[in-house]
Chains A and B, each alone.
Chain A
Amino acid sequence: MARRPAPPLPSALKAPPPRPGEGNGPLSPVEQAKEAGITVVDWVDERTSLSGAARWLMFRKVPKGTNWYYTLGSATLFAFLSQAVTGVFLAMFYRPDAAGGAYESIRHITDDVFLGQFVRGMHLWGASVMVVLVFLHMGRTFLFGAYKYPRELNWVIGVVLLILTMVMALTGYLLPFDQRAYWATIVANNITATGPLVGPYLGDFLRSGPEFTATTLSRFYAIHMLLVPGAIAALIGAHLYLVTKLGTTAPPWSKVDRRPELSETEV
Chain B
Amino acid sequence: MANKRAKQKSKYTLDRGIPGAFEGETVTRRRFMTGAAHSAGAVAAAAFTLPALGFAVGPIFKQERHSWEDIGPLEAFSENNYIPVVVTINPGVGEVGKTTAYVRKRNPAIDTDRYDSTTPYIAISTRCAHVGCPVRWIDAAERFVCPCHGGVYDLLGRRVSGPPVRPLDRFPTRVRAGRVQLYTGRFSVNSELRRFSPRDPGEPLDGIGQYLYPSRPSARIP
Residue pair A209, B62 in contact (C-beta under 8 Å): yes
User: Whole-angstrom distance between the alpha carbons of A183 and B127 in the complex?
Assistant: 11
User: Whole-angstrom distance between the alpha carbons of A193 and B199 in the complex?
Assistant: 9
User: Whole-angstrom distance between the alpha carbons of A212 and B93 in the complex?
Assistant: 10
> Known contacts A98-B93, A209-B64, A213-B90; is A201 also within 8 Å of B202 by CB?
no
Contacts of B54 in A (CB 8 A): none
Contacts of A187 in B (CB 8 A): 131-133, 148
Residue pair A197, B203 in contact (C-beta under 8 Å): no
Interface residues of A in 200-216 (CB under 8 A from B): 200-201, 203-205, 207-215
Residue pair A190, B131 in contact (C-beta under 8 Å): yes
Shortest A211–chain B CB gap in Å is: 5
User: Whole-angstrom distance between the alpha carbons of A196 and B219 in the complex?
Assistant: 17
User: Whole-angstrom distance between the alpha carbons of A187 and B64 in the complex?
Assistant: 21
Interface residues of B in 20-75 (CB under 8 A from A): 56-57, 59-60, 62, 64
Indicate if B216 sits at the interface (CB-CB under 8 A). yes
Indicate if B150 sits at the interface (CB-CB under 8 A). no
Indicate if A226 sits at the interface (CB-CB under 8 A). no
Residue pair A205, B213 in contact (C-beta under 8 Å): no
Contacts of B132 in A (CB 8 A): 186-187, 189-190
Closest A residue by C-beta to B56: A205
Tell me which of B56, B97, B131, B198 contacts A210 (CB under 8 A): B198
Contacts of A98 in B (CB 8 A): 93-94, 96
Contacts of B80 in A (CB 8 A): none
Tell me which of B60, B203, B212 contacts A205 (CB under 8 A): B60
Indicate if A139 sits at the interface (CB-CB under 8 A). no
Q: Describe A's contact surface by its main secondary structure.
A: helix
Contacts of B202 in A (CB 8 A): 190-191, 193-194
Indicate if A100 sits at the interface (CB-CB under 8 A). yes
Indicate if B124 sits at the interface (CB-CB under 8 A). no
Shortest A217–chain B CB gap in Å is: 8
Shortest B96–chain A CB gap in Å is: 5
Contacts of B203 in A (CB 8 A): 193-194, 199-200
Contacts of B133 in A (CB 8 A): 183, 186-187
User: Whole-angstrom distance between the alpha carbons of A65 and B106 in the complex?
Assistant: 76
> Known contacts A197-B212, A209-B59; is A182 also within 8 Å of B200 by CB?
no
Indicate if B182 sits at the interface (CB-CB under 8 A). no
Indicate if B201 sits at the interface (CB-CB under 8 A). yes
Indicate if A99 sits at the interface (CB-CB under 8 A). yes
Residue pair A200, B199 in contact (C-beta under 8 Å): yes
Residue pair B59, A204 in contact (C-beta under 8 Å): yes
Closest B residue by C-beta to A191: B131
Closest A residue by C-beta to B184: A211
Residue pair A214, B59 in contact (C-beta under 8 Å): no
Residue pair A209, B96 in contact (C-beta under 8 Å): no
Shortest A16–chain B CB gap in Å is: 69
Residue pair B213, A199 in contact (C-beta under 8 Å): yes
Interface centre among B57, B59, B200, B203 (most CB of A within 10 A): B200
User: Whole-angstrom distance between the alpha carbons of A186 and B200 in the complex?
Assistant: 10
Interface centre among A99, A182, A191, A213 (most CB of B within 10 A): A213
> Known contacts A194-B202, A205-B57; is A200 also within 8 Å of B213 by CB?
yes
> Known contacts A193-B202, A194-B200, A210-B64; is A204 also within 8 Å of B92 by CB?
no
Tell me which of A189, A197, A207, A214 contacts B92 (CB under 8 A): A214
User: Whole-angstrom distance between the alpha carbons of A200 and B94 in the complex?
Assistant: 26
Shortest B12–chain A CB gap in Å is: 45
1/0 contact string of A171-196 vs chain B (CB within 8 Å) = 00000000000110011011101101
Contacts of B199 in A (CB 8 A): 200
User: Whole-angstrom distance between the alpha carbons of A100 and B94 in the complex?
Assistant: 7
Contacts of A205 in B (CB 8 A): 56-57, 59-60
User: Whole-angstrom distance between the alpha carbons of A207 and B216 in the complex?
Assistant: 13
Identify the 9 closest CB pairs spanning chains A and B, nearest first. A210-B219, A193-B200, A194-B202, A99-B94, A196-B212, A208-B59, A190-B132, A190-B131, A210-B218
New A-B pairs, 12, CB < 8 Å, besides A98-B94, A209-B62: A190-B201, A194-B202, A196-B212, A197-B212, A199-B203, A200-B199, A203-B200, A205-B57, A209-B64, A211-B90, A212-B96, A214-B93
**Cβ contacts A to B, 25 pairs, < 8 Å:** A98-B93, A98-B94, A99-B94, A100-B95, A187-B133, A190-B131, A191-B131, A193-B200, A197-B212, A197-B213, A199-B200, A199-B213, A200-B200, A203-B200, A204-B59, A204-B216, A205-B60, A209-B64, A210-B200, A210-B216, A210-B218, A211-B90, A212-B96, A214-B92, A215-B59
